[in-house]
Amino acid sequence: MASVLRFPVRRLASAEGRSAAIRALANPAEERIARAEELHLHDPEMLVSLVGLLWERSETNPESVRLEAEFFYTYLAEPYRPIGAMDEREYFLGEFALIAGTHSRVLGRRDEARLWFDRADAFFRLTVRVQADLSRLGYQRLAVRLEERCYSEVLELSPPLIESFRRLGMTEDCIKVNFLQVLALQEIGKLEKAIDLLEETSRAAVAHGLRRLHGLAQTNLFNLYANRGDAARAMDCCRVASSELASLGNRVGLAKLRWGAGTLLRNQGREKEAVEAFRAAIGEFRDLGMRGEVAATHLVVADLLIDQGAEAQAEWEIRAALPIIDEEKMVPEGMAAYALLRESVRRRKIDRNALRDVHGYFQE
């Protein structure tokens, strides 16, 4: 009978999948292919656990997650390898492309992210859970729109995406879309509406036991209250967010919280402490490989230093940001301002308006 039913031989039990995935990741990428059999590299049990592990590590080490997702996508794509049963090969290719794209986006590599999203789209269409996975992809594409400052499009396209997730019963993803709307509202100056939506989002996250989203909502509330100058409420949110993020090992969230602390201190007129907080955030963003945030924060520090009359130090901060902006092609929409800033640094007389314009293009 076994010669008739050609199902893949099961080598790993579900419980063994996770330890196999940890083992695969612990091996350097360049050694993995030679040890593919031993590491179960094309066993669907290992792969489904690996996908879970990569998403879990998303906010502790986005650069490593991006590289791992690229490795597994490439490994599964060429040469052709049958994986698991039914739609599993296409699913894993789609999922690794989505992970690679998401982390390219997080790291400010927007062009790469778009290509990965196109790959994810092509493979997800061949799977049985197509609506759910295309909706997850839709969320990431909307996040790119937000980063491109297309706020009205984000506000237009969020409700149907929320409705897709609602109809599919995907509560966590449904709540996540609120964050994109909040950021868009914030950018077009509708601060009170953004705060109301975030408070609602925070309550929904608690009601569904979604601690990561609760931590994220509190971080965003902290930033908004800090921007509004409401220090007491901001600090309350900071405490809640910090406790949630630390317990989840969310390094990205904690780094963003540090950035928010800098904003709060700046708004309180405590500029020297603000510079310290922002510099600490730069260190953390650098460790995480978040080059966009590193460059943006250097520019904020430069702006503060100019206020303090420390033009030479400000120039150093801008010089630290410029190569990153250049290499990652981070402000294609703000090239004119970027050119002015670059030229002003060359002449050693910083153009404050250009500095603020360029920084504006980074803000989420």
Partner 1 sequence: MGQNPSDREAQVDALFLRALPVITEALTSDYGLTEDEASELEQNLYLWFDRLARRPGQVPISSLRSSLLLAACQFARGVCQMKHEAAVARSAEEFPVPRYEPSAFAVELERRLLNRERES
Q: Which is nearer to partner 1, 5 or 232 (CB)?
A: 5
Kindly report the length of the chain.
Answer: 364
Closest distance to partner 1 from the beta carbon of 282 (Å): 31
Candidates 23-31, 43-51, 327-335, 347-355: pick the segment binding partner 1 (CB under 8 A).
43-51
- With CB under 8 A as the contact rule, the residue among 71, 75, 91, 222 that binds partner 1 is 91
**Would you count residue 128 as binding partner 1 (CB under 8 A)?**
yes
Alpha helices in 248-332 (DSSP H): 251-267, 271-288, 291-307, 311-328
**Would you count residue 15 as binding partner 1 (CB under 8 A)?**
no
Query: According to CB under 8 A, which residues from 187 to 226 bind partner 1?
Result: 208-210
Which residue, chain included where needed, has tokens 């910083």? Answer: 350
Q: Which is nearer to partner 1, 44 or 260 (CB)?
A: 44
Widest CA span in the chain: 83
Do residues 220 and 235 make contact, with C-beta atoms less than 8 angstroms apart?
no
End-to-end Cα distance, the chain: 59
Q: Output helix, strand, coil percentages for the chain, rounded to the nearest 5.
A: 80, 0, 20
**Would you count residue 18 as binding partner 1 (CB under 8 A)?**
no
> Angle at the Cα of 104 (from 101 to 108), degrees rounded to 5?
135
- With CB under 8 A as the contact rule, the residue among 27, 55, 271, 352 that binds partner 1 is 55
Closest distance to partner 1 from the beta carbon of 261 (Å): 29
Do residues 85 and 45 make contact, with C-beta atoms less than 8 angstroms apart?
no
**Would you count residue 6 as binding partner 1 (CB under 8 A)?**
yes
**Would you count residue 22 as binding partner 1 (CB under 8 A)?**
no
Do residues 39 and 24 make contact, with C-beta atoms less than 8 angstroms apart?
yes
Candidates 62-70, 125-133, 284-292, 308-316: pick the segment binding partner 1 (CB under 8 A).
125-133
Q: Which is nearer to partner 1, 69 or 194 (CB)?
A: 69
**Would you count residue 96 as binding partner 1 (CB under 8 A)?**
no
What is the rounded CA–CA span in Å between residue 92 and residue 72?
Answer: 9
Do residues 138 and 105 make contact, with C-beta atoms less than 8 angstroms apart?
no
Quick one: 129 exposed, middle or buried, by C-beta within 10 A (0-12, 13-18, 19+)? middle
**Would you count residue 335 as binding partner 1 (CB under 8 A)?**
no
**Would you count residue 90 as binding partner 1 (CB under 8 A)?**
no
* Residues of this chain that bind partner 1 (CB under 8 A): 1-8, 10, 14, 44-45, 48, 51-52, 55, 84-86, 88, 91, 95, 128-129, 132-133, 135-136, 168-173, 208-210
